[in-house]
Amino acid sequence: MATNPRTKEGPLSWWRWPSLQALALLIIAILGGLLLGPSWVSELTVVGLYALTVIGMNLFMGYAGQVSLGQAGFFGIGAYSVGIITTQYQFSPWLGLLAGMLIAGVVAWLLGKLVLKLQTHYLALATLAFGMIANVAFQALSITGGNSGLTGIGNFSLGVSFSNTDYYWFVWILVALAAWYATRMVHSESGSLLEAVRSSEVATKLMGLNPDQVKREMFVVSAILAALAGGVYASWIGYIDPTVFTFTLSINLVLMAVVGGMRSVYGAVVGVGVVQLLGQGLNTVGQMISPAAGGALELTVYGLILVVVMMFWPNGLITAWKGRYRQSSVVSPPSAVSD
Amino acid sequence: MSLLWQFVVSGVGTGSVYALIAMGYSLIYKETGIINFAQGEFAMIGAMSLWMFQQQGWPLIPALIAAVAVAAVVGAGISRIVMHPARHSAPLTLIFITLGLDTALRGIATLLWGVNPVAVNPLSGNGSIHLIGAVLSVQNLWVLLGAAVVALALYLFLERTYLGRGMEAAMDNPQAAQLFGMDPLKFSLYTWISAAIIGAVGGALLAPITTANANMGLDLGLSGFVGAIIGGIDSLPGAALGGLVLGLVQSVAAGYVSSTWADGIAYAVLFLVLLVRPQGLMGSHAQHRV
């Protein structure tokens, strides 16, 4: 494996400017919101919420080369913060959203301090343990409503209370902002450092740079984005219970990141869209067979996709597609792409 | 005090099933360097297949053997079609692949057998015995006996047979084993089949106590994995010990605190072990930090 980090390839061509890309995404989202019917708007709100989470995981997994199997825990922290603050204390959901992001960030920072120096599979296990403990806490605490969860979670409002379509705008503005931030991050100095950490931690250390710190930063960012998405989700859907924030959700998030390409910010958005729409389709087909078969068919196909994509395109579909394009048109070190 | 003794006795029952699953993890990890997140599904396949054959009216012993055989075939298929071709992938990629296998197996099982829990007949009736004040169901005795027999059989296979010695050699030094003409595909196949058999026996023995369903593999697998890490995943006896310890901790925690918190406590123990002694209680390799 190449030990020299692939540094910035000179100035970016204009269509790769982060602000332009984010703006393009926003325009597509606005067009979608104006042209599509209400059921599509709800569907795409979910896609946006997952995309927000997956963009964060993308930074941590694709660029820092680590995996979190407990991201549902952070998503849940955000959701329960909004839920608790609006149902138990009657405060504004905005406060809950901020509190959730703050708590998730602090928890991720502390967790990162403890576990990020562990090897890949031990780290995966430690994040898995975190997700499980968080889920047990959601079930067992009284403030979270135990197994029955929380209902009647407050709507966001800016003067007037958010409608379903307002949530759609809000979510996709957040996605565009997150994508903008992530793209800038990837092309910045820290991005080059991330790239270096991914290709060789030893080399990074030899150069006197601290891989743990940049990994921790990405972990914190991914946790904050997950909590943000979770908080908006709770307020949008109005009720939450522990069965939402499970290991299965963590795995689905990993799947979305993997399908889209772990090293492509916009690939993350595409991956979420593809997986989510495919899931809906499979569910519909499965339910024609029997009520239980919908979920089972979805599970089976999700699992097989994960296996096949990882066997043949371990960097994800979008990254593989981009890599092929790059190899055929521009001369660049092939090892950096095919590794 | 007698209450604690009761919790300990029941904990050893579940703990020995965890021990079997943990040994499956350890075996695959030692032989191929892979953490097999799908290990718990072998237990599910064992349990659900046993139920399926019992439904067909098969007598106990053939049903049990057939159930274990189903898991062995699945294990062989996974090894041949997926894991062996993908063996040179990065650790992260391999984690994703086994997670995908776990998800797919759960989905297929739900398609075949539905989501509802099913009652599996115990091996020899519903009786129970008294053990110095604690009550122990006869099925629990079968679990203990089965776990002990399987562990012993695995030990004898690895230590006393030519094939087993070869597998152990391949664990210690894959390159050298290959130079001596040992076929890595064959070893991968044997490893996965052994792991599948161990897991399936555990699941089939546990099923009459807990009932079985298509989703049971995830929790069992995670518990077995936690056990393996606590005990030391690169040591078979260590992994077995870790599984037992986990069963005890869960049982005592469920008895004294609450069954909801019991899982949380198990993961808290895991967390502590990862921080203090990542190689596990009996693992030999100091953690390799780059």
Q: What is the pLDDT of residue B288?
A: 42
Q: What is the pLDDT of residue B67?
A: 94
Q: Nearest-CA residue of chain B relative to A294? A: B111
Instruction: Render each residue's pLDDT in chain A as its tens digit; 339 residues.
Output: 333 344 444 556 666 667 777 777 788 878 877 777 777 888 889 999 999 999 999 888 876 778 889 999 999 999 999 999 998 888 888 999 999 999 999 999 999 888 887 777 788 888 988 999 999 999 988 888 888 888 888 888 888 888 888 899 899 999 999 988 888 877 776 666 776 766 677 777 777 667 777 788 889 999 999 999 999 999 999 899 998 898 889 988 988 888 877 777 888 888 898 888 888 888 888 888 777 777 788 889 889 988 998 888 887 777 777 666 554 433 333 333 333
Averaged confidence pLDDT in chain B: 85
Lowest-pLDDT choice from A202-206, B249-253, B265-269 = A202-206
Q: What is the pLDDT of residue A97?
A: 93
Q: Which residue has the higher pLDDT, B286 or A337?
A: B286
Distance separating alpha carbons of residues B284 and A204, to the nearest angstrom? 28
Question: Best interface-test mutation with A: which of B29, B81, B93, B103 has the largest number of A CBs within 10 A?
Answer: B103
Q: What is the pLDDT of residue A159?
A: 80
Q: Would you say B142 and B124 are in contact if contact means Cβ atoms under 8 Å apart? A: yes
Q: Is B248 on the interface with A (CB under 8 A)?
A: no
Distance separating alpha carbons of residues A337 and A319, to the nearest angstrom? 8
Angle at A249 between CA A248 and CA A253, to 5 degrees: 115
B26 pLDDT higher than 50: yes
B201 pLDDT higher than 90: yes
Q: What is the pTM of this model?
A: 0.85
Q: Would you say B171 and B50 are in contact if contact means Cβ atoms under 8 Å apart? A: no
B44 pLDDT higher than 90: yes
Instruction: Give the torsion through C-alpha atoms of A99, A105, A109, A111, to 10 deg.
Output: 80
Instruction: Give the torsion through C-alpha atoms of B205, B206, B212, B213, to 10 deg.
Output: -110
Q: What is the pLDDT of residue A14?
A: 61
DSSP per position, B100-126 = HHHHHHHHHHHHHH-SS-BPPPPBTBS
DSSP per position, A165-199 = HHHHHHHHHHHHHHHHHHHHHHTSHHHHHHHHHHH
Burial of residue A1 (CB within 10 Å: 0-12, 13-18, 19+) is exposed
Considering only CA atoms, which of B175, B192, B255, B246 is closest in space to residue B22?
Answer: B246
Task: Count chain A–chain B contacts defined by CB atoms under 8 A.
Answer: 140
Q: Nearest-CA residue of chain A relative to B223? A: A129
Residue B39: band (very low, low, confident or very high) from pLDDT cuts 50, 70, 90: very high
Interface of A with B in 122-151 (CB under 8 A): 122, 124-126, 128-130, 132-133, 136-137, 139-140
Residue A156 has what DSSP assignment? P
Average pLDDT over residues B34-39: 89
- Give the model confidence (pLDDT) of B76-122 as tens digits: 999 999 988 888 888 788 888 999 999 999 999 999 998 888 888 88
Q: What is the pLDDT of residue A290?
A: 75
Q: What is the pLDDT of residue A255?
A: 87
The alpha carbon of residue A312 is apart from the nearest alpha carbon of chain B, in Å, by: 9
Which domains does chain B show, CATH number per domain? 2-276 (1.10.3470)
CB-CB under 8 Å, A303 with B101: yes
Residue B131: band (very low, low, confident or very high) from pLDDT cuts 50, 70, 90: confident
Q: Which residue has the higher pLDDT, A336 or B27?
A: B27
Write the CA distances from A50 to A249, B34, B202, integer angstroms.
Answer: 10, 29, 37
Average pLDDT over residues B245-267: 84
A100-114, A149-163, B219-233, B249-263, range with greatest mean pLDDT: A100-114
Q: Which residue has the tokens 């968080």?
A: A134
Angle at B117 between CA B116 and CA B123, to 5 degrees: 150
Interface of A with B in 36-95 (CB under 8 A): 61, 65-67, 69
